[in-house]
Amino acid sequence: MTQASGTDWPIIHFDYTGYTVLVTGGTSGIGAGIAAAYRKSGAEVIITGTHDDPASYGIDLGGYRYLPLRLPDDRRIEAIADSLPALDILINNAGGILTNANQDEYDPDIFEQALRLNLTSGYRMATACRDLLSGSKLPGGASVIGIASMTSFFGWDGIAGYGAAKAALVQTTKTLGIAWVNQNIRVNAVAPGMTASRANARMLDDPAAMAPYFAQIPMRRVGTPRDIAGAVLFLTSPAAAYITGQTLPIDGGWSISRWATVPDSKATP
């Protein structure tokens, strides 16, 4: 798995030259970090975002094929899948916390919207792309990667729908990992802990707000999109050919710490 241009990890290089990757929500945060890592590894990378015009982001997206997608939009999901001539890797990254948009996820209607946004839409995208993925020639098989969360494992006040969706994503990953293995598709997920992103920028700049998190993270730092991307590139590589149905926490040890509790904050977990 070597490539002349390399990626961002000393002694480790991935070569995805000749393979196609779709990263939903690939314009910022974890999704952007994953997309950039695949691009540096030689892959053809397709990203989706909520803007109609990619130029409106104010960042250089010239190295990607950009497709607009605002979830949940079942017809657009089908249209995107139908537009792809081939696909080897699907990263279901798009989603969001409706509480951050001042919506009450305890309200049954908002709860249901959160499930559609963070669970059902990813399932629909994976199902729509299944035949393409099944035809992949990627050594070790094609891959679907979901983005889970610490809320997949722990209760988190205020984000009832998001947490339910992320917990269900872990179970769906197990189920599809079994159901699709004979179709040349491995299905796994990663569960990031506190990760630097635009959504968390204000809190990350506040030492007092971050102190409870650092006290509970054995590595005493937050994650970066690069941390998440490294695990994702491994899971979709031939080195992980015997791994399916698994969810890998990437959290600096937070979830295995005996001090792990949920700080009272509005940070994105």
Asked if 177 and 187 touch (Cβ cutoff 8 Å), the reply is yes
Residue 198 has pLDDT above 80, yes or no: no
Q: What is the mean pLDDT of residues 64-76?
A: 95
Instruction: Assign 58 a pLDDT band (cuts: 50, 70, 90).
Output: confident
Q: How far apart are CA 183 and CA 20, in angstroms?
A: 18
| Residue of 64, 162, 213, 242 marked catalytic | 162
The two tokens of residue 15 are: 């070569």
What is the identity of the amino acid at 92?
A: N
Check residue 4 and give its pLDDT: 36
Check residue 132 and give its pLDDT: 98
pLDDT tens figures, 222-248: 889 999 999 999 999 999 999 999 999
The CA distances from residue 22 to 8, 26, 260, in Å, are 20, 9, 34
What is the identity of the amino acid at 154?
A: F
Instruction: Assign 7 a pLDDT band (cuts: 50, 70, 90).
Output: low
Catalytic: 19?
A: no
Q: Selecting from 3.40.50.300, 3.10.50.40, 3.40.50.720, 3.40.630.10, what CATH number does the domain 20-256 have?
A: 3.40.50.720
Asked if 68 and 48 touch (Cβ cutoff 8 Å), the reply is yes
Q: How far apart are CA 58 and CA 263, in angstroms?
A: 34
Q: Pick the range with the lowest mean pLDDT from 75-79, 90-94, 204-208.
A: 204-208
Q: How far apart are CA 45 and CA 23, in angstroms?
A: 7
pLDDT tens figures, 15-41: 999 999 999 999 999 999 999 999 999
